[in-house]
Amino acid sequence: MPDGSSAMPSLARKGRGAVTNPAVRYESQRAEPWDDGWGTLAEAFANLPPLPTELIREKAKSALSWNDSPDIGFDRSLNPYRGCEHGCVYCYARPAHAYVGMSPGLDFETRLMFKPDLPELLAKELSKPGYVPKAVALGANTDPYQPVERTLGITRRTLEVLDRFGHPVTIVTKSAGVLRDLDILQRLAARNLVHVCLSVTTLDLKLARIMEPRAASPLKRIEAIGALARAGVPVGVLAAPMIPALNDMELERILETAARAGATRAGYVLLRLPLEIAGMFEAWLREHHPDRAARVLALVRETRGGALYDSRFGARQTGHGPYAELLAQRFRLALRRFGLDGRGRMGGHLDTSLFRPPQAAPRQLELL
């Protein structure tokens, strides 16, 4: 007699990162898969078609997002998009998709929300009396140069506002698409108003295609570092995330390659697995790297006090314990070895003294 089974088959799709689509944690009702015992569940999920990208217009109420986290080097950020088509399975921003009633899994990389009025809202907020400028992080939550930016251009229009106001900005991206805005970046760089950081997780093309299926190839990112450096735009590299027994052995090679290309600063982050990402990452790991899944997860737990994640400020980025301490030591030695140390923290010290809101046109009564 068929006993039924709720084991969920893989949802892996070509060109997508996640292999699951977890339920939205805020919803009271959830649908669970069930097999009647005749193999119909596996049959239904076999040969799944590609998932298209759906764009959803979002009416933003404000442009700037604020935070007071003590272990983040900025207090304000700009995010033209919710969700990210790059499909990085480990992305710490995935759980935020639940806030808008979507899954942090495949929904996060296929159902993207965009904010077309973000540049106009930003101009209004920067023009408010009493606004005090500090460097703003562009794309702190999801990548500002993900593929849809090619057609929507929201990031470019946002940079145009910052350029016009003389406002400092830092950018982190995995895309060589940042070079499309090189003209604006050069103007900002000439006034010490910008720092760009390319995130390079691996130099292994095969691994990159699995971990970050729609991000620029590692070679393209290294080439982008070189192009920015030659154009006079300060550029750094972020080796993140470092995943134990998967890409951590590449740390020094990533930093050396980026330094040779022209990077002057560097950072790293140990793998973070908050909320749904822990289960998603484990499912992805067992699908793509079953031979080393147990070893990877054991090392992650070693850095997180026996759990898969530790959310405490100061520990969530770097972890603790012997493995985490060794990784930090390797990073410090590599900075000195490749000339990436002693040049300020990521983002440097950008100029805030040039901030000038454009003069508004005088109202009719003021002319009398």
Predicted confidence (pLDDT) per residue in 107-146, tens digit: 999 999 999 999 999 999 999 999 999 999 998 889 999 9
Lookup: tokens for 248: 């951590």
Band the pLDDT of 361: cuts 50, 70, 90: very low
Lookup: tokens for 123: 């101009």
- Residue by residue, DSSP assigns 192-225 as T-EEEEEE---S-HHHHHHHSTTSPPHHHHHHHH
Residue 9 lies in a domain: no
Residue numbers of the domain that contains 102: 55-346
Q: How far apart (Å, rounded) are the C-alpha atoms in residues 203 and 218? A: 5
How confident is the model over 222-245, as a mean pLDDT?
A: 98
What pLDDT, on a 0 to 100 scale, did the predictor assign at position 2? 41
Give the closest residue to 67 by CA, choosing from 52, 59, 78.
Answer: 78
What pLDDT, on a 0 to 100 scale, did the predictor assign at position 12? 79
- The CATH number that applies at residue 221 is 3.20.20.70
pLDDT at 43 > cutoff 70: no
Residue 50 lies in a domain: no
Nearest-Å Rg of the Cα atoms of the chain is: 22
How confident is the model over 309-321, as a mean pLDDT?
A: 91
CA count, 13 A, side-chain hemisphere, 151: 4
Residue 360 lies in a domain: no
Lookup: tokens for 209: 């295609």
pLDDT at 1 > cutoff 50: no
Residue 318 lies in a domain: yes
Residue 254 lies in a domain: yes
Average pLDDT, the chain: 90
Residue 223 lies in a domain: yes
Predicted confidence (pLDDT) per residue in 269-293, tens digit: 999 999 999 999 999 999 999 999 9
Residue 322 lies in a domain: yes
How confident is the model over 294-313, as a mean pLDDT?
A: 95
How many structural domains compose the chain? 1
Lookup: tokens for 121: 């809202």
Sheet containing strand 111-114, edge to edge, reads: 54-57, 111-114, 81-82
Band the pLDDT of 268: cuts 50, 70, 90: very high
Q: How many percent of the chain have pLDDT more than 90?
A: 78
Q: Please check whether residue 211 is in contact with residue 88, taking contact to mean a CB–CB distance below 8 angstroms.
A: yes
Q: How far apart (Å, rounded) are the C-alpha atoms in residues 109 and 234? A: 30
Q: How far apart (Å, rounded) are the C-alpha atoms in residues 303 and 24? A: 28
Residue 79 lies in a domain: yes
What pLDDT, on a 0 to 100 scale, did the predictor assign at position 314? 85
How confident is the model over 34-38, as a mean pLDDT?
A: 62
